[in-house]
């Protein structure tokens, strides 16, 4: 976040703000701690909904697949908890049962 506040990064601030607005957790949806990251009092999707849509669509198409998660830091545990919450039907934006998804 800091790089868009000063110097050459300032020119990208409008784009950054627009992208952040699309990642904001909806106000009318209950917050599930495993699925959000909070910054400056604002809740953001930890993983974008399109990621979960991809999983649902692949399973509904009967396609076999594996997820390989790679991070550049220490965020693998929160990502794993978010996927686990999704698979355990705790994601309020995905009403379809996720019992057919297994996690290991």
Q: What is the mean pLDDT of the chain?
A: 88
- Note the pLDDT of residue 1: 63
Mean pLDDT of 16-26: 94
Q: Tens of pLDDT along 88-103?
A: 889 999 876 555 555 5
What is the spatial distance between Cα 83 and Cα 68, in angstroms, rounded to a whole number? Answer: 12
- Note the pLDDT of residue 27: 94
What is the spatial distance between Cα 86 and Cα 38, in angstroms, rounded to a whole number? Answer: 18
Residue 45, beta-bridge partner list: 36
């Amino acid at each position: 976040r800091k790089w868009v506040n000063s110097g050459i990064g300032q020119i990208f601030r409008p784009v950054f703000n627009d992208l952040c607005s699309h990642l904001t957790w909806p106000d009318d949806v209950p917050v599930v701690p495993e699925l959000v990251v909070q910054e400056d009092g604002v809740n953001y999707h930890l993983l974008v909904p399109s990621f979960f849509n991809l999983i649902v669509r692949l399973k509904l198409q009967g396609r076999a697949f594996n997820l390989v998660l790679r991070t550049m830091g220490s965020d693998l545990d929160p990502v794993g908890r978010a996927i686990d919450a999704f698979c355990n039907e705790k994601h309020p934006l995905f009403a379809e049962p996720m019992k057919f998804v297994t996690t290991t």
